[in-house]
């Protein structure tokens, strides 16, 4: 995953506004736990596209 560091500092979870941690190919919310996909190095921060943790 290669997200621009300037962008990385700005993005937060759209559901709860908590920080996002880097996963393998995903971003994981430290607050609510939703997992957001990253496609072609672009974070898809849509709650409808996120998945809940197992």
Domain CATH number, residue 29: 2.20.25
Phi/psi at 30 (5° precision): -80, -10
Given a cut of 90, is residue 44 above it in pLDDT?
Answer: yes
Total-model pTM: 0.87
* CA distance linking residue 36 with residue 38, whole number of Å: 7
Q: Confirm whether 54 is domain-assigned.
A: no
Q: Which residues contact 39 (CB under 8 A, 6 or more apart)?
A: none
* Domain count along the chain: 1
Q: Confirm whether 11 is domain-assigned.
A: yes
Q: Which among 10, 12, 42 is positioned nearest to 25, based on CA atoms?
A: 42
* CA distance linking residue 42 with residue 2, whole number of Å: 9
pLDDT tens-digit readout, 11-37: 999 999 999 998 888 999 999 999 999
Residue range(s) defining the domain that contains residue 30: 5-49
Phi/psi at 44 (5° precision): -100, 95
Q: Confirm whether 30 is domain-assigned.
A: yes
């Amino acid at each position: 995953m290669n997200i621009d560091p300037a962008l990385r500092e700005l993005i937060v979870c759209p559901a709860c506004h908590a920080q996002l941690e880097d996963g393998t190919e995903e971003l994981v919310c430290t607050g609510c736990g939703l997992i957001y996909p990253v496609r072609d190095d672009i974070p898809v921060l849509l709650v409808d596209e996120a998945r809940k943790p197992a």
